[in-house]
């Protein structure tokens, strides 16, 4: 590690705020890029299974 | 009775007919031709009101102002380029013609450019003098606008072909074509600025000419494909 | 000679399938009337047969080109005169002299209106300008979508004569109409109710 | 050669692709997260600071990869668009539509990190630097594709229209980038650039390469996830899908 302490890494000679803000925002974007399509997939999956159950119910009647 | 044996049209005649048809329709409603000029005139008036009447400041900004306003004027007219043809069924007939749709569409675009872009370039020195553009820049301004509006019209035609079937496609059209117009704006302003500074603007004009030639070759293909998609949506 | 053949054509609009398994072979000398209730897909089928619609259309369609397709939108510019409209028509694949165009306009009873802007004519007269193309085209296959609408009795009779004449010289016509059959002995019916997907 | 064609052919089949992409994503997810973590740790804490810009340069490890992959993403879209127009493969439409939002988000990341980097470097959040301006235009291009797709009601037509638009954009992108470069050098010659031509030291380069690789994987994974969600919806009534979901 280049920095001597965690506090130094946090401060980064005055640039810490910018650097950590950039990384935090990017992390959020990365999480969104993975989570949004996954959430959509699960939503569609729920629709399909609900539909399947209904169809099964119809055929039983 | 329908007669079957008549000579078929050459490609050039078909192009000419589309050119004439669209040109005549444009001429019949002079507002379509006058509106962009009026728009140009009025927006140019806005700049001194917003920036202050200082002649030196206006003169230094004149190339940029004139080019941005020309771009906006072309954006405004692009929205209606194929709209009437789409509404009255002409596009369907063009698509069914035995000649390539891209060539027929190019005929329309040529008429459109002559009536709007070319005209705007020719009268632009008037507006340039209102903003105090030094006289050594006038010739280059006209030349760069002639080439530049050709590019703008071709890009606008592609955008118009893509959005013609969409209701209220005007805003979408600007989103599609403004980014594509960036090089034209940069080359055009650079050429005029260089000429005003007394330097040689030929590099920028050459680049603009190359851009226009490239677009003349490629834009019709995109237009033809886009129009067929628009007809089928 | 077969001018148009279609097999197993199905048409979807949006996510809904309108028609399925449509097949027809149109030979020269034939008149086909496409029948069906509103919204069953008559116009969509005609557009597909003309080659204007490809998305959502499956099956094989082969056609003899150039063909003439006439729909509700007549491709007529209001600012232009009937003469100019027909002279520079976007789909006109043949050259017509002004005299030939004047003759065609005469035939649709628009003599004397050659130089007036189409916008100043009535709806029925504008329709006739569009129909005058039938006399100027070299296409053998005609696809006409509701050609009899907005025409008066005399106009309908003229159109019937025109179609009969075209068919008798080796052409073929497919048209949609709600009117009862006009070409009893020549005509074949394509009832889309048989192909509709419920 | 023959095997490759067979593979490409299989890619176009929704049932096969659905299964294949499921396996692929399961492997990609941990690898991507690992690479991102390693690259970020290396770039943030291990690499030495830049002798001119100090520690603020560490933003390079997200700014540059995001910018590079965002641009590449537009080309991915264009290739999918060309396949869709030429061979009319529906899977290409799905791929194109799936790539657009991912590329747009990456472009936005590059823009925002660029702005944050600009504050300590130039003292302003927004400077009309050549790279930043190009990224802004790229964002407009991406938004145009997304907006055009949403504006069409017929989604097949929407995909084809977007394909034409991306191809036009692809021809234009090099011209746009080059013209923006010239414009920049015309107006502001010789100012501090984010990334100079000077050779970058290996200790700084390796984490950058790791991050670029990680962002490529991230793009691929996010695009695959989008495609799977779209395929699931498109084939929600298909028999093969129901069978597959029953089994799993």
Least confident interval from B38-47, B223-232, C83-92, D84-93:
C83-92
Most distant pair of Cα atoms in chain A: their distance: 73
- DSSP tally for chain C: helices H, then strands E: 5, 8
Between chains, do D143 and B222 touch, taking CB under 8 Å as contact?
Answer: no
Residue B12 distance to chain C (closest CA, Å): 13
pLDDT higher than 60, residue D161: yes
Is any Cβ of chain C less than 8 angstroms from the Cβ of B33?
no
For the stretch D12-24, what's the b/e string if a residue is b when 16 or more beta carbons lie within 10 angstroms of its beta carbon?
eebbebbeebeee
Q: What is chain A's Cα-based Rg?
A: 24
- All residues of chain C having their beta carbon less than 8 Å from the beta carbon of residue B80 are none
Would you say B224 and B101 are in contact if contact means Cβ atoms under 8 Å apart?
yes
- pLDDT at B152 > cutoff 50: yes
Of C107-111, C131-135, C160-164, D184-188, the range with the lowest mean pLDDT is D184-188
C14 shares contact with chain D (CB less than 8 Å): yes
CA–chain centroid gap for B192, Å, is: 19
Q: Which pLDDT score, from 0 to 100, does residue B175 have?
A: 94
Q: How many CA atoms lie within 13 A of B230 on its CB side?
A: 33
For each of the domains in chain D, give its residue range(s) and CATH number, in order of start. Answer: 15-247 (1.20.120)
Q: Which residues of D touch C (CB under 8 A)?
A: 153-154, 156-157, 160
pLDDT of residue B1 exceeding 50: no
What element of type H or E holds B94?
A: helix B90-96
Supply the angle between the helices D155-187 and D60-86 in degrees, to the nearest 10.
Answer: 140
For residue B6, the model assigns a pLDDT of: 47
D154–C14 C-beta distance less than 8 A: yes
Banded pLDDT at B110 (limits 50, 70, 90): very high
Question: How many other CB atoms are found less than 10 A from the CB of residue A1?
Answer: 12
Q: For residue C181, give how far its alpha carbon lies from the nearest alpha carbon of chain B (Å).
A: 22
Q: What is the pLDDT of residue B224?
A: 96
What pLDDT, on a 0 to 100 scale, did the predictor assign at position B105?
95
Please give the residue that has the higher pLDDT: either B141 or C178: B141
Confidence band for C49, pLDDT divided at 50, 70 and 90: very high
**Residue C138's pLDDT is what?**
82
Q: Is D58 in the A-facing interface, judged by CB distances under 8 Å?
A: yes
Nearest CA-CA distance, residue B5 and chain D, Å: 36
H/E element holding B26? helix B11-28
Q: Evaluate if residue D190 carries a pLDDT over 60.
A: no
Chain C residues touching residue B89 (CB < 8 angstroms): 71-75
Cα nearest neighbour of D182 on chain B: B186
Q: Is it the case that chain C and chain A have 3 or more CB pairs lying under 8 Å apart? A: no
- Among candidates B212, B184, B188, which has minimal Cα distance to B201? B188
Two tokens, residue B69:
């306003």
Mean pLDDT of chain A: 84
Q: What whole-number distance in Å separates Cα of residue B221 and Cα of residue D128?
A: 34
SS3 category, C20: strand
Where does the pLDDT of residue B71 fall: very low under 50, low under 70, confident under 90, or very high at 90 and above? Answer: very high
- The phi, psi pair for C35, rounded to 5°, reads -110, 160
pLDDT for B180: 96
The partner residues of C12 in beta bridges, in order of sequence, read C17
Q: Is residue A61's pLDDT more than 60? A: no
Question: From CA B115, how far away is CA B68, in angstroms rounded?
Answer: 19
pLDDT score of C93: 65
For residue D56, give the nearest of A19, A32, A48 by CB distance.
A19
**Which of D158, D171, D179 has its CB closest to that of B182?**
D179
Higher-pLDDT residue of D190 and D158 is D158
| Per-chain mean pLDDT for chain D | 89
Closest chain B CA to residue D156: B233
Closest CA to D59 of D124, D118, D16, D8: D118
In the predicted structure, residue C101 carries a pLDDT above the cut 70:
yes
Residue of C nearest to D88 (CA): C55
Q: Where are the alpha helices (DSSP H) in chain D?
A: 2-11, 14-41, 60-86, 90-122, 130-151, 155-187, 202-234, 239-247
Which sign, positive or negative, has the C-alpha torsion D17, D23, D27, D29? Answer: positive
Determine the pLDDT at residue C72: 85
Counted across chains A and D, CB pairs separated by less than 8 A come out at 100
- What share of chain B in percent tops pLDDT 70? 97
Q: What is the ipTM of this complex?
A: 0.91
Long-range contacts of D33-39 (CB under 8 A, 24+ apart): D35/D210, D35/D211, D35/D213, D35/D214, D35/D217, D36/A30, D36/D211, D36/D214, D36/D218, D38/D210, D38/D214, D39/D207, D39/D210, D39/D211, D39/D213, D39/D214
Chains with 3 or more CB pairs closer than 8 angstroms to A?
D
pLDDT digits (tens, 9 = 90+) for B128-137: 999 999 999 9
Distance CA D76, CA B129 (A): 47
Give residue-wise pLDDT tens across range C102-141: 888 988 888 888 889 998 888 888 889 999 988 888 889 9
Instruction: Give D 170-189 residues with CB within 8 A of chain B.
Output: 171-172, 175-176, 178-180, 182-183, 186
DSSP per-residue string spanning A5-47: SHHHHHHGGGTHHHHHHHHHHHHHHHHHHHHHHHHHHHHHHHH
In this structure, of A38-42, B206-210, D229-233, D243-247, the range with the lowest mean pLDDT score is D243-247
Say whether pLDDT at D189 is over 70: no
**Buried (b) or exposed (e) across C83-99, using 16+ Cβ within 10 A?**
bbbbbbbbbbbbbbeee
| Cross-chain Cβ contact C55/D153 below 8 Å | no
CB C90 within 8 A of CB C69: no
CA–CA gap between residue B219 and residue C141 (Å, rounded): 32
Q: How far is D1 from chain A (nearest CA, A)?
A: 34
How far does the CA of residue D240 sit from the closest CA of chain B (Å)? 29
- Gap from D226 CA to chain A (nearest CA, Å): 5
Contact B111, B103 (CB under 8 A): no
Residues 134-163 of D with CB under 8 A from B: 137-138, 140-141, 143-144, 147-148, 151-154, 157-158, 160-161
Q: Are B59 and B30 in contact (CB under 8 A)?
A: no
CB contact under 8 A, A26 and D62: yes
Beta bridge partners of C94: B8
Give residue-wise pLDDT tens across range D24-50. Answer: 999 999 999 999 999 999 988 888 887
- Per the model's pLDDT, the better-predicted residue between D169 and D6 turns out to be D169
Please report the beta strands in chain C, taking only residues with DSSP state E, as ranges in sequence order: 2-13, 16-27, 31-35, 57-63, 67-70, 141-145, 172-176, 187-191
Contact indicator for C176, C44 with CB cutoff of 8 Å: no
Reduce the DSSP state of residue D97 to 3 states and report it.
helix
Confidence bin at C95 (pLDDT 50/70/90): confident
Cα radius of gyration (chain B): 19
Q: What is the pLDDT of residues D201-226, one digit of tens each?
A: 778 888 999 999 999 999 999 999 99
Residues of chain A in contact with residue D119, where contact means CB-CB under 8 angstroms, are 18
Closest partner residue to B17 (CB to CB) among C51, C88, C166 is: C88
The pLDDT tens digits of the residues spanning B189-203 come to 999 999 999 999 999
- Looking up tokens 């019209």 gives B153
pLDDT in tens, D8-29: 888 888 899 999 999 999 999 9
Interface membership of D117 toward A (CB under 8 Å): yes
Name the more confident of A25 and C185. A25
Examine the pLDDT at B98 and tell me if it is beyond 60: yes
* Nearest residue to C55 (alpha-carbon basis) of D231, B232, B25, D110: B232
What integer best gives the mean pLDDT of chain C? 87
Q: How far apart are CA C43 and CA C35, in angstroms?
A: 11
The verdict on whether omega for the bond into residue C66 sits within 30 degrees of 0, i.e. cis, is: yes
B216 touches chain C (CB under 8 A): no
Contact B179 D176 (CB under 8 A): yes
Q: How far apart are CA D135 and CA D108, in angstroms?
A: 8
């Amino acid at each position: 590690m280049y920095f001597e302490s965690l506090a130094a890494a946090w401060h980064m000679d005055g640039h810490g705020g910018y650097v950590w803000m950039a990384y935090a925002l990017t992390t959020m974007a990365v999480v969104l890029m993975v989570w949004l399509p996954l959430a959509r997939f699960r939503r569609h999956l729920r629709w399909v299974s609900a539909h399947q159950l209904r169809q099964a119910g119809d055929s039983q009647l | 009775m329908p007669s079957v044996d008549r000579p078929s049209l050459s490609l050039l005649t078909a192009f000419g007919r589309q050119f004439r048809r669209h040109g005549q329709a444009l001429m019949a409603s002079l507002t379509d031709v006058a509106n962009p000029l009026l728009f140009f005139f009025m927006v140019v008036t806005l700049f001194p009101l917003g920036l202050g009447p200082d002649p030196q400041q206006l003169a230094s900004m004149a190339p940029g102002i004139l080019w941005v306003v020309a771009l906006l004027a072309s954006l405004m007219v692009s929205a209606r380029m194929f709209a009437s043809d789409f509404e009255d069924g002409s596009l369907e007939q063009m698509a069914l013609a035995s000649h390539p749709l891209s060539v027929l569409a190019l005929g329309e675009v040529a008429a459109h450019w002559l009536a709007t872009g070319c005209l705007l370039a020719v009268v632009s020195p008037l507006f340039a003098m209102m903003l105090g553009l030094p006289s050594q820049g006038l010739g280059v301004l006209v030349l760069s606008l002639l080439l530049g509006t050709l590019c703008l019209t071709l890009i606008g035609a592609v955008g118009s072909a893509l959005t013609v079937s969409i209701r209220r496609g005007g805003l979408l059209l600007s989103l599609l074509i403004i980014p594509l117009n960036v090089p034209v704006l940069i080359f055009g302003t650079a050429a005029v600025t260089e000429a005003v500074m007394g330097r040689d603007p030929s590099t920028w004009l050459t680049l603009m000419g190359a851009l226009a030639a490239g677009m003349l070759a490629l834009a019709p293909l995109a237009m033809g494909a886009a129009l067929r998609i628009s007809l089928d949506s | 000679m077969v001018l148009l053949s279609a097999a197993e054509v199905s048409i979807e609009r949006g996510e809904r399938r309108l028609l399925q398994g449509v097949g027809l072979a149109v030979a020269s000398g034939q008149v086909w009337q496409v029948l069906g209730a509103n919204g069953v897909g008559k116009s969509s089928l005609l557009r597909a047969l003309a080659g204007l619609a490809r998305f959502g259309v499956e099956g094989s369609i082969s056609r003899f080109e150039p063909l003439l397709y006439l729909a509700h939108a007549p491709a007529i510019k209001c600012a232009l005169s009937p003469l100019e409209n027909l002279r520079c028509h976007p789909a006109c694949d043949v050259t017509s002299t002004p005299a030939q165009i004047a003759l065609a306009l005469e035939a649709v009873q628009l003599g004397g209106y050659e130089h007036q802007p189409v916008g100043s004519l009535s709806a029925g007269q504008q329709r006739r300008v569009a129909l005058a193309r039938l006399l100027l085209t070299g296409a053998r296959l005609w696809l006409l979508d509701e050609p009899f609408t907005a025409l008066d009795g005399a106009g309908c009779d003229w159109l019937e004569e025109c179609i009969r004449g075209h068919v008798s010289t080796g052409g073929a016509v497919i048209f949609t109409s709600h009117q009862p059959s006009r070409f009893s002995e020549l005509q074949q019916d394509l009832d889309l109710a048989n192909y509709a997907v419920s | 050669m023959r095997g490759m064609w067979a593979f490409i052919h299989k890619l176009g089949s929704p049932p096969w692709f659905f299964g294949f992409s499921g396996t692929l994503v399961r492997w990609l997810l941990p690898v991507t997260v690992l690479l991102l973590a390693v690259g970020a740790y290396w770039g943030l804490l291990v690499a030495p600071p830049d002798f001119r810009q100090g520690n603020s340069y560490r933003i390079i490890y997200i700014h540059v990869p995001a910018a590079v992959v965002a641009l590449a993403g537009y080309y991915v879209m264009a290739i999918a668009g060309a396949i869709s127009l030429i061979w009319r493969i529906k899977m290409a439409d799905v791929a194109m539509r799936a790539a657009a939002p991912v590329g747009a988000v990456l472009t936005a990341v590059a823009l925002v990190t660029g702005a944050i980097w600009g504050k300590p470097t130039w003292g302003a959040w927004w400077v009309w630097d050549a790279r930043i301006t190009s990224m802004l235009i790229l964002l407009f291009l991406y938004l145009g594709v997304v907006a055009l797709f949403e504006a069409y009601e017929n989604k097949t037509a929407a995909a084809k229209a977007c394909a034409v638009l991306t191809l036009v954009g692809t021809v234009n992108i090099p011209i746009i980038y080059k013209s923006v470069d010239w414009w920049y050098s015309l107006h502001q010659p010789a100012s501090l650039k984010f990334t100079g031509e000077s050779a970058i030291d290996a200790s700084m380069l390796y984490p950058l390469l790791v991050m670029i690789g990680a962002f490529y994987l991230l793009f691929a994974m996010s695009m695959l996830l989008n495609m799977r969600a779209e395929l699931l919806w498109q084939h929600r009534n298909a028999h093969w899908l129901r069978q597959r979901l029953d089994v799993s």
